[in-house]
Every structure is written in C-alpha cells, then in structure tokens.
C-alpha cells in the first residue's frame, strides 16, 4: 500500500511536469534560439545554438524545481532556463573555441555572477576573448535571470548563498578549462581549502559544477523569505552529495565523448571501475539520506530518482562499458528510479527530451 501511495505522489509531480513545465521550457528555449540566430559573430552564434540544441535536457531537468512552488512556475522556468542557458553557452565557449585564456574564462563567467547578484555591474564579458560581438545575447539572458529573481519575495534571504555557490562554479569553470598540463594541479590546490568533506578532489569539483542548488534556492524563495536553518539543511544534502551525483552522472555518460575531444572528465579520475562504482553509489546513498531530512523529502527524493532516470536513459549510458554500472545505480534507486527510467526512454523516443 505504501508503494502505491508513494507512486501516486510521484505522479502528482510528474504529470504536470510533462504536461505543463516541459512546454514552458520549450517555449523559453525557442525564444533564446531565435535570439541566438541573429548573433552577428558566427563563432558565438554557432556555440549559442549548439548549447541550446545539444544541452536542452539540462534546462528540462532543472525545471522540475518550478513545481516546488507551482504558483510561481512560469517565473521560475524563465529564471532556470536563462541561468542554465548562460551556463551551457559559456561552457561551450570555454570547451570548443581555441585561443582563449584563463583570464578570458574568468571574465566570461562574471556574467554568471551578474545573473544572480544584482549588485554586479554590467561589463564587457568578452573583453579578453577571441570573439566579441554577440549582439546583446548574453546581456539578454542576464537581464531575464535578474528580473525573475527580483520578483521572488524571498530573494534577499538566498542571495548570499547564491553568490557563494556561483563563485565556486566560476572557479571550477576557470580551472577545468585551462591547459591540460596545469588544470589538475590547480584543481587539487583549490580543493585543499575544502578538505572537511571526506571526498576526492574530482568529486568536489563535480559538486561545484551543478546548478541544482541554485534552482532550489530560487524555488524556495518564490514562496517567501527562507530561514537560515532551512538553507543550511538544504546545503547539507545538496552540497556536495546531490549536486555531486548530478554532475558525476553527466560525466559518466560522457566518458567516451570527452576522451575523444580531450576534455576533462571527473569520472575518469577514479583509479578503477570498482572505485568509480563505489563513488557514484556513495553519492547516491548520501543524497538519499540527506533528502530524508529536508522539508518535503518526497520532492527531493523524486529529483534524485529523476537524475538517475534522465541520465541513464541516454543512449550513451547503454554501451557495453556503461550499462553494468547504470543498471546498478537504477537498482539502488529502487522502483521509482526504474519506472522514471522507462518514462524517460519513452519521452526520448517521442522527442520530448
């Protein structure tokens, strides 16, 4: 009986997510695509369009948080899609374009900070970058993100934590994109200030790369000011555990692609497949334990199972090398992860994700 009740609660979130939220995400992405199409610089246009086309599922997955405060769903979708699109676009500019420097990576990513901190002044984000003229595309994304945040009644209560998390995100993006011979040394040195977690340096880096805690903070602020204790409780679950799980799954399915492009992949730093298996399963279990202690634990549990379903339904997770661990993770997620996985497979076949 309890499993039936749990399943019905999950359906109560998933049905409006598929029927209401995904169409809103598609609408927002179509708007940004139309703006990307008129970017004057051809390289910037190429990367903006590629980020929307190839990383659409990042916005789709993150927008589950719009249902945390359903009455503010449209506003939250605008914020989530704008911020995630900034993240994906800048990641492409750092990953796929030659001739950029560490300085240019940091300058570009000040746009991410400006998107969540109203006190940050607009500047020339491309000042030291090889390509310059985006026709106002990045500023447009920043403006939408800031406007949505100002309309959240609890924004001031979460602003400081948003800024801290984005600073970690920026540091990660800068260090992970520098020359291959330098990046690991800098990432390890950076991690030395955060050793109070019993995790590897690449697991910490992975956690810093997730935007999910940002989205949840915004979703909570949409209902009003968020008490400090709630924020502390949230972060004890999300950082590093749930956020780390999110990005480790992302890197897990991209192992082959990143090897081909010589891109950094955090999962590849596990010394063996067995250690990688233990690492991902540990992050899953710690995230589940932390979620049980949060307000509305069923929602956070559904997010965790949704991460497993979304990433492990990707065809890249079905190769001979990836499938055994993918199946173990789904089994560890239990019945909810398995039926969500089947749903994601169906949605992929339909072209919805």
CATH number of the domain where residue 26 is located = 1.10.600
pLDDT band at 7 (very low <50, low <70, confident <90, very high): low
More confident residue, 180 or 281: 281
- Predicted confidence at residue 305, as pLDDT, reads 97
Tens of pLDDT, residue by residue over 283-327, are 999 999 999 999 999 999 999 999 999 999 999 999 999 999 999
Tens of pLDDT, residue by residue over 140-156, are 999 999 999 999 999 99
* Residue 182 burial (CB count, 10 A): 11
Torsion of CA 115, 116, 120, 124, to 10 degrees: -20
Q: Is the peptide bond before 47 cis (omega within 30 degrees of 0)?
A: no
Q: How many domains are there within the chain?
A: 1
Q: What is the 3-state secondary structure (H, E, C) of 27-93?
A: HHHHHHHHHHCCCCCHHHHHHHHHHHHHCHHHHHHHHHHHHCCHHHHHHHHHHHHHHHHHHHHHHHH
Q: Which value, in Å, is the radius of gyration of the alpha carbons in the chain?
A: 19
Is a pLDDT exceeding 50 seen at residue 18? yes
- Predicted confidence at residue 65, as pLDDT, reads 98
- Predicted confidence at residue 181, as pLDDT, reads 85
pLDDT band at 11 (very low <50, low <70, confident <90, very high): low
What is the average pLDDT across 270-290?
97
pLDDT more than 90, % of the chain: 88
What is the average pLDDT across 112-134?
95
On the CB side of 278, CA atoms within 13 Å amount to: 8
Is a pLDDT exceeding 90 seen at residue 258? no
pLDDT band at 9 (very low <50, low <70, confident <90, very high): low
Instruction: Enumerate residues 6+ apart whose C-beta is below 8 A from 327.
Output: none
What is the average pLDDT across 39-62?
96
CA distances from 226 to 86, 113, 145, 152, 241 (A): 25, 21, 19, 11, 21
Torsion of CA 258, 171, 294, 71, to 10 degrees: -90
Q: What is the 3-state secondary structure (H, E, C) of the chain?
A: CHHHHHHHHHHHHHHHHHHHHHHHHHHHHHHHHHHHCCCCCHHHHHHHHHHHHHCHHHHHHHHHHHHCCHHHHHHHHHHHHHHHHHHHHHHHHHHCCCCCCHHHHHHHHHHHHHHHCCCCCCCCCCCCCCCCCCCCHHHHHHHHHHHHHHCCCCHHHHHHHHHHHHHHHHHHHHHHCCCHHHHHHHHHHHHHHHCCCCCCHHHHHHHHCCCHHHHHHHHHHCCCCCCHHHHHHHHHHHHHHHHHHHHHHHHHHCHHHHHHHCCCCHHHHCCCHHHHHHHHHHHHHHHHHHHCCCCCHHHHHHHHHHHHHHHHCCHHHHCCCCHHHHHHHHHHHCHHHHHHHHHHHHHHHHCCC
Tens of pLDDT, residue by residue over 335-351, are 999 999 999 999 999 99
Is a pLDDT exceeding 80 seen at residue 2? no
- Predicted confidence at residue 260, as pLDDT, reads 85
What is the average pLDDT across 42-64?
96
Torsion of CA 350, 304, 158, 114, to 10 degrees: -50
Rounded CA separation 173/338 (Å): 33
pLDDT band at 6 (very low <50, low <70, confident <90, very high): low
Nearest Cα to 156, choosing from 211, 110, 118, 122?
118
pLDDT more than 70, % of the chain: 97
What is the average pLDDT across 167-188?
94
Q: What is the residue range of 297's domain?
A: 2-350
Average pLDDT for the chain: 94
Are 118 and 146 within 8 A, CB to CB? yes
pLDDT band at 262 (very low <50, low <70, confident <90, very high): confident
Is a pLDDT exceeding 50 seen at residue 199? yes
């Amino acid at each position: 009986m309890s499993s039936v009740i749990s399943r019905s609660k999950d359906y109560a979130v998933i049905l409006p997510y598929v029927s209401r939220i995904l169409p809103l995400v598609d609408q927002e992405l179509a708007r940004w695509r139309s703006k990307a199409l008129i970017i004057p610089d051809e390289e910037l246009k190429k990367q903006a369009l590629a980020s929307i086309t190839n990383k659409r599922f990042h916005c789709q997955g993150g927008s589950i948080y719009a249902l945390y405060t359903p009455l503010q769903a449209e506003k939250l979708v605008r914020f989530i899609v704008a911020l995630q699109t900034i993240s994906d676009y800048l990641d492409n500019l750092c990953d796929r374009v030659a001739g950029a420097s560490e300085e240019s990576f940091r300058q570009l990513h000040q746009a991410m900070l400006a998107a969540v901190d109203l006190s940050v002044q607009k500047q020339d984000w491309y000042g030291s970058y090889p390509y310059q003229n985006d026709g106002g595309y990045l500023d447009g994304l920043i403006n939408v993100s800031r406007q949505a945040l100002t309309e959240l009644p609890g924004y001031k209560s979460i602003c400081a934590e948003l800024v801290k998390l984005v600073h970690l995100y920026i540091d990660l993006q800068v260090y992970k994109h520098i020359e291959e011979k330098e990046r690991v040394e800098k990432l390890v040195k950076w991690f030395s200030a955060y050793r109070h977690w019993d995790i590897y340096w690449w697991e910490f880096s992975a956690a810093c790369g997730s935007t999910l805690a940002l989205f949840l903070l915004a979703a909570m602020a949409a209902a009003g000011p968020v008490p400090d204790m709630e924020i502390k409780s949230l972060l004890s679950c999300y950082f590093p555990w749930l956020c780390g799980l999110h990005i480790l799954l992302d890197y897990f399915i991209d192992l082959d692609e990143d090897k081909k492009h010589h891109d950094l992949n955090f999962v590849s730093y596990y010394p063996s497949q067995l250690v990688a298996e233990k690492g991902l399963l540990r992050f899953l279990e710690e995230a589940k334990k932390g979620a049980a202690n949060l307000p509305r634990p069923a929602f956070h549990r559904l997010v965790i199972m949704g991460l497993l379903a979304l990433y492990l339904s990707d065809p890249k997770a079905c190769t001979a090398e990836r499938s055994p661990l993918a199946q173990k993770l789904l089994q560890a997620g239990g019945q909810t992860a398995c039926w969500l996985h089947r749903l994601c497979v169906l949605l992929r076949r339909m072209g919805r994700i």
